[in-house]
Amino acid sequence: MYYPSQKKPSRRLYTFPGGLHLPENKAQSTTTATVKAALPRKLILPIQQHIGAPAQVLVKVGERVLKGAMIANPQGRISASVHAPSSGIVSEISEHPVAHPSGLPALCIVIETDGEDEWGELPPAIDDFRLCEPGLLLERIRTSGIVGLGGASFPTNIKLEPKKERRIDTLVINAAECEPFITCDDMLMRDRPQEILEGITIMKHLVGAASCLIGIEDNKPEAIAAMTKVISEQEVDNIELVVIPTLYPSGGERQLIRVLTGKEVPSGKLPASIGIVCNNVGTAAAVADAVLRGRPLISRYITVTGEGVANPRNLEALIGTSGSELIEQAGGYTGEAARLIMGGPMMGFTLHTDKVPIVKASNCLLAASTREAPDPGLATACIRCGKCAEVCPVSLLPQQMYWYARAKDLEKTQEYNLFDCIECGCCSHVCPAHIPLVQYFRFAKNECWDQEREKKSAELARMRHEAKLARLARLEAEKIARAQKKKAALARSASTNKGSDAAGDPKKAAIEAALKRAAEKKARLAEEGVKPQNTDNLTDAQRRQVQQADARRKALGDGDTRQASEQQDR
């Protein structure tokens, strides 16, 4: 086992529950050096490659774009821009198959490259970022289209924004790369440790963190050596490379933070709530490119591996390159390819075709053989062995959640903390009954979200209804108050007039006589069972209106009284 010679990890490391030692399968893709993938004839760029609102298209079909030009700009706070990875003509803006678990197509900008690879005008480099306004740096990161390259693709500028609620004291850099087969971060660290360190320094400056911990699994000796070298060569303060034991999923954000700092990110909260921001090494390199060189995010390292390809390797590919071209440059299929996976074996999803573009989040294209990813066969009944709970890195009870997810008892699944599940796949991997547990949990989460949406709209309707009732009650109360006020005023005026003889006042006698008549009439009508109506003395036009209203009310039916009452109100 290799440890960097000068600095042995002096830091105390912590553990998280569960976890798995998996066959690493990383060696096969690290034997050849990473090269730039050949410029493809066509680049397909989905306008949504990130979490948040889709970007808005800025170009028209037929327009020539230069390399690095923004072709879609971010919409709203959480969004990311898209840039042209090479120069060429926009040939279409339409729906196209993309790498998404749903298999649904998405809106893409297609660029026919012209082979010139001509750079457009780039924003100026910000050499001394320490003197630069933080807002400008964040804007640069935002307009460079940088998102988390570790897989979640959350817009990086949002993560690096100063936090109102809490000061950030630690920047955690995720270099763990814990999933089997994936080596793109490993290769990036070997090739560009300098840029990564620059990016880390910028991010550390932006969030104002006192210290930075780079967590890397001990199965990447070359990357550890390269990173150690640049860190020791440069004058950097409080940036520490921490070698951690290889244990899946130590690269999960919350797991890595736990291993490095011993802190647990509270359930349902962000790391920022405990003063930590976590970013991937690839993201750090992209930030350095954007700030120090003005270059937007237009390419990334991607691992093309598995027994299904002839020469497993890493490629630096332009975003939008088709998976088929990358497979081609990794020697093509061997005939053993049985499954094509976007991402790693534990959390990646299968593609039914390789004709999909790689996006910012694509870290691995795995063409697995049946040996590497055999068909698990039919799932059988859960025997409640609890192996899933033993390996769960969040200490969940997957066997219970599965039981309730199957019964669609969503409340119970949430009681068993469904939403703390990070979908790492450990439970499914060890299940002796081969139950696709994670799939059940994804399903239950989606059902919960659906239900939440429905509940929200129902809640809105209820609030609207209650507001209406309150308004009507208020109007009624005001009416009564007005009447009482009037009555009181009348009584006051009557008492002031008390001096004069009531009987002698002809006006008052007439009013009293009229009141008496009205009371008598009311009593008579009440005896006959007729209620007084304000519709008795109406003009013909008014009567017609009333009849029409009655007809409408009838047509609505008696069942929906609420609607009927609303109709009445109108």
Partner 1 sequence: MQFATITSPHTDRPNSVTVTMLWVIIALLPGAVAMAWYFGWGVIIHMLLASAAAVAAEAFVLKLRARPVMPAISDLSAVVTALLLAVALPPLLPWWLTVLGIVFAIVVAKQLYGGIGYNPFNPAMIGYVLLLVSYPVEMTTWLPPIMLNQNPLDFTQTLSAIFVGTLPPGLDWDALSAATPLDEMRNQLNQNRMISEIRQSPLWGDFGGLGWEWVGNWYLLGGAILLYKRIISWHIPVSMLGAVLVMAMLFHFLDQESHPFGLFHIFSGGTLLGAFFIATDPVTAATTKKGQLIYGACIGLITYVIRRWGGYPDAVAFAVLLMNMAAPMIDYYTQPRVFGQRDAGDD
The one segment of 204-212, 309-317, 425-433, 562-570 that binds partner 1 by CB under 8 A: 425-433
Per the CB < 8 A criterion, the answer to whether 19 and 247 are in contact is: yes
Query: CA–CA separation, 557 vs 317, rounded Å?
Result: 65
**By CB under 8 A, residue 356 contacts partner 1:** no
The one segment of 73-81, 333-341, 491-499, 529-537 that binds partner 1 by CB under 8 A: 333-341
Within 79-108, the residues that bind partner 1 by CB under 8 A are 103
Query: CA–CA separation, 215 vs 259, rounded Å?
Result: 9
C-beta closer to partner 1: residue 102 or 537 = 102
Q: In what order do the strands lie in the sheet with 170-175?
A: 239-244, 211-217, 170-175, 276-280
By three-state DSSP, how is residue 320 classified? coil
C-beta closer to partner 1: residue 27 or 385 = 385
User: Residues with Cβ < 8 Å from 459, sequence gap 6 or more?
Assistant: none
Provide the minimum distance between the beta carbon of 375 and partner 1 in the complex, in angstroms, as a whole number: 7
Residue 13: Cβ-neighbour burial (10 angstroms; 0-12, 13-18, 19+)? middle
Provide the minimum distance between the beta carbon of 248 and partner 1 in the complex, in angstroms, as a whole number: 10
C-beta closer to partner 1: residue 385 or 513 = 385
Provide the minimum distance between the beta carbon of 256 and partner 1 in the complex, in angstroms, as a whole number: 13
The one segment of 53-61, 64-72, 257-265, 290-298 that binds partner 1 by CB under 8 A: 257-265
C-beta closer to partner 1: residue 76 or 101 = 101
Q: Give the torsion sign (CA, 428, 432, 434, 439).
A: negative
Provide the minimum distance between the beta carbon of 61 and partner 1 in the complex, in angstroms, as a whole number: 30
C-beta closer to partner 1: residue 66 or 106 = 106
Query: CA–CA separation, 153 vs 527, rounded Å?
Result: 78
Per the CB < 8 A criterion, the answer to whether 271 and 277 are in contact is: yes
C-beta closer to partner 1: residue 300 or 429 = 429
Within 361-390, the residues that bind partner 1 by CB under 8 A are 366, 368, 371-376, 378, 380-387, 389-390
Q: In what order do the strands lie in the sheet with 339-342?
A: 35-36, 313-318, 299-305, 364-368, 339-342, 349-351
Per the CB < 8 A criterion, the answer to whether 77 and 61 are in contact is: no
**By CB under 8 A, residue 264 contacts partner 1:** yes
The one segment of 311-319, 422-430, 469-477, 535-543 that binds partner 1 by CB under 8 A: 422-430
Please give the full DSSP string across 235-279, using - where no structure is assigned. Answer: --SSEEEEEE---BTTTSHHHHHHHHH---PPTTS-GGGGTEEEE
Please give the full DSSP string across 528-546, using - where no structure is assigned. Answer: HTPPP-TTSS--HHHHHHH
Q: Which of 26, 83, 339, 445 binds partner 1 (CB under 8 A)?
A: 339
**By CB under 8 A, residue 436 contacts partner 1:** yes
Provide the minimum distance between the beta carbon of 344 and partner 1 in the complex, in angstroms, as a whole number: 8
Tokens standing for 320?
């939008």
C-beta closer to partner 1: residue 47 or 182 = 182
Residues that bind partner 1 (CB under 8 A): 16-17, 22, 103, 180, 254, 258, 264-267, 333, 337-341, 345-354, 366, 368, 371-376, 378, 380-387, 389-390, 393-397, 399-400, 416-417, 420, 425, 428-434, 436, 438-439
